[in-house]
Amino acid sequence: MNLTIDSLDRSRFKGERDTLALFLWEGEKFTAEGWLDSKKEDSLEAAAKREGFKAKAGETFLSYPEKEEPVMRLLLIGLGKKKDAKIETLRDGAGKAYKASSKQSETLWIDLPQWPEKISAEALAQAVTEGVLLGRYRYVKHKTDDEQKKKEFTLKKTVLVVERPEEIDAAKRGIKRGDIYAQAINFIRDLINEPPSLKRPREFAKISKGLESSRIKVRIYSKQELERMGMRSILGVNAGSVHDPIFTHFIYKPKGAPKKRIGLVGKGITFDSGGLNIKTGNHMSNMKMDMAGAATIMACLRACDALDVASEIHGFAPFTENMPGENAYKPGDVIQAYNGKTIEILNTDAEGRVVLADALSFAVKQNLDAIIDVATLTGAVVVALGDQISGLLSNNERLARDLLEASKRAGEKVWQLPLLPEYKERIKGKVGDWANISTRGGAEPGSIIGGLFLEEFVDSKPWAHFDIAGTAWTDSETPTCVPGGTGAIARTLLEYILAL
């Protein structure tokens, strides 16, 4: 779909086959921004009120003005009260505008609203662009019905109307960045939604190689190389699968001297059966999404190239299945990680932290300024924070603060959990150095326990861990996301990287 910019010149507005979307603030006088005369504005406002439209956040009202008007199909979208203005409300509103016009219009015109705070036209245009492109997303690769496979229906173009000509250049920059962000998120969604038997490690090797460019280099380590390197944690989790693991190292280098050198590590369990501690059916049904962390860092690397990021970014992704095959690792096994520490396996379904032990240990040796890992790590984070908030744990308060600020700019909900050292006694192994779950049993602070385990493999480097077990997947539909993979935390990571 094309996304273009227009200024106050409305001569190209077709009317008959187009939809115009206007954003309104709750409790304020309705204005059609010059698209209708004052009498028609009053008539439209009265009609909207009769239908109960108050411009609350997320509310919509569709109107068909009189035939002589240039606007044939007018969509009003509420932003809520100005004092509660949130950029994500605008993003969701743009998603709703797309869905309300995709089957009825050739062009969707969106009038960029005036924001009460000092938010640039670039940021507003970016949010609208993301909303439209994320709202448009459908995973239809395996549908056989031609009608269901159509992604755009009749809608071919979206035009962003900028009322102030001096803001057009800024809006163009916002459209470009919004397009890159949306492409990254939809790339993650495609990988998560793909059936697990079509995305085994060897498929991810091909996808990884496809990310190579003049500034992104990709090194893929085979099973034989992992054996020589001593990456026994990845190999241990992989032992129950007939499909060999891989470990991928991505390196993005900027044109000039890098401002910072940052490592992104992603959990890449392409399917998680739970191993010998096998999951029940209802907990296994969406475990094709257990590689969401790896998909996220891959998408971010690709976006860094498109955004011309000024820092050097490394990505690390261990890919393997966790299966209960005849050679599967077992409760009671002890595995030595890449950094030499031993892991006592108490539960084979806590495999994500085991493969990350090798990946983090490898990242430490790359002389990075900070390391951030992203993983669908614990069911406990869903209990603690639900499916709308990602958990954050860190050994460095400045890094944690920067990531929290980035999440606010991105409009993603993140909550920092304490990395409480008093709990570390609970993961001291009896026959190995560290147990992969708490040795106490019963109800435990599982997300914190998982973070404390990972901390043992970062060698005091500034490090942060995002637990996206609750946010990487959704069973419900929102204006910008259908059920399935979400692409959570990608925007936050990109905002953090761009601010370095």
Question: Is 232 among the residues known to form the active site?
Answer: no
Please state, in angstroms and rounded to a whole number, the distance separating the CA atoms of residues 342 and 455. Answer: 14
The catalytic residue among 73, 96, 136, 353 is 353
The answer to whether residue 382 scores a pLDDT higher than 70 is: yes
Residue 164 pLDDT > 90: no
Domain boundary, last residue among 131, 164, 197? 164
Q: Is the pLDDT of residue 3 over 90?
A: no
Instruction: Name the nearest CA neighbour of 180 among 315, 308, 348, 27.
Output: 308
User: Per-residue DSSP letters for 433-487?
Assistant: SEESS-SS-SS--HHHHHHHHHHTTSTT--EEEEE-TTTSEESS-BTTB-SEE--
* Residue 428 DSSP code: B
Q: What is the mean pLDDT of residues 436-446?
A: 92
pLDDT value, residue 441: 83
Instruction: Specify which residues 464 forms β-bridges with.
Output: 372, 394
**Mean predicted lDDT score pLDDT of the chain:** 92
User: What is the residue whose two structure tokens read 């090797």?
Assistant: 205
Say whether both 278 and 201 belong to one domain.
Answer: yes
Q: How far apart are CA 407 and CA 88, in angstroms?
A: 12
Q: How confident is the model at residue 7, as a pLDDT?
A: 57
Q: Residue 67 has what pLDDT?
A: 60
The confidence score (pLDDT) of residue 125 equals 95
| 171 within domain boundaries | no
Q: 20-45: per-residue pLDDT in tens?
A: 899 999 998 887 777 777 777 788 88
Residue range 367-387: mean pLDDT, rounded: 97
The strand ranges marked E within 41-97 are: 60-63, 74-78
Q: List the beta bridge partners of residue 36.
A: none
| Domain CATH for 430 | 3.40.630.10
Question: Looking at residue 434, what is its pLDDT?
Answer: 98
Q: Kind and range of the H or E element at 247? A: strand 246-252
Domain enclosing residue 60, as ranges = 2-164
Q: What is the mean pLDDT of residues 158-166?
A: 87
Total domains present in the chain:
2
Whether pLDDT at 149 is above 80? no
Instruction: Report pLDDT digits (tens) over 174-185.
Output: 999 999 999 999
Tens digits of residue pLDDT in 70-101 = 667 889 999 999 999 999 999 999 999 999 88
84 & 232 share domain: no
Q: Please give the pLDDT value at position 48.
A: 86
pLDDT beyond 80 at 373: yes
Each residue's pLDDT tens digit, 275-306:
999 998 888 999 999 999 999 999 999 999 99
310 and 207 share a domain?
A: yes
Convert 444-481 to b/e letters by CB count within 10 Å (16 or more is b): bbbbbbbbbbbbbbbeebbbbbbbbbbbbbbeeebbbb
Question: Do residues 157 and 215 both lie within one domain?
Answer: no
- The mean pLDDT of 192-206, rounded to a whole number, is 98
Q: What is the pLDDT of residues 403-436, one digit of tens each?
A: 999 999 999 999 999 999 999 999 999 999 999 9
Q: What is the pTM of this model?
A: 0.95
Residue 16 has pLDDT above 70, yes or no: no
The pLDDT of 135-146, averaged and rounded, is: 86
Structural tokens at position 235: 């190999």
For the residues 433-452, what does the mean pLDDT come to?
Answer: 95
Residues 264 and 314 in one domain: yes
- Has residue 121 got a pLDDT over 60? yes
pLDDT band at 145 (very low <50, low <70, confident <90, very high): confident
Which residue's structure tokens are 């043992």? 456
Whether residue 150 is found in the same domain as residue 198: no
Residues 145 and 231 in one domain: no
Pick the catalytic residue from 279, 341, 409, 424.
279
Name the pLDDT band for 1 (thresholds 50, 70, 90): low
Specify whether 91 is catalytic: no
Q: What pLDDT, on the 0 to 100 scale, is given for residue 8?
A: 56
- From CA 487, how far away is CA 204, in angstroms rounded? 17
Give a yes or no: residue 246 inside a domain: yes
Q: Is residue 265 a part of any domain in this protein?
A: yes
Do 148 and 199 share a structural domain?
no
Rounded to whole angstroms, how far apart are CA atoms 429 and 48?
Answer: 65
Does 181 reside within a domain?
no
Q: pLDDT exceeding 90 applies to what percent of the chain? A: 78
Q: Do 254 and 384 belong to one domain?
A: yes
Q: What percent of the chain has pLDDT over 70?
A: 94
CB 493 within 8 A of CB 300: yes
Verify that 447 and 355 share a domain, yes or no. Answer: yes
Q: Do residue 463 and residue 380 come from a single domain? A: yes
Q: Could you tell me if 35 and 6 are in contact, meaning their C-beta atoms sit under 8 angstroms apart?
A: no
- Same-domain status, 343 and 467: yes
Q: Please determine, for residue 150, whether its predicted confidence score (pLDDT) is greater than 70.
A: no
Give the burial class of 325: count Cβ atoms within 10 A of its Cβ; 0-12 exposed, 13-18 middle, 19 or more buried. Answer: middle
When pLDDT is averaged across residues 187-201 and rounded to a whole number, the result is: 98
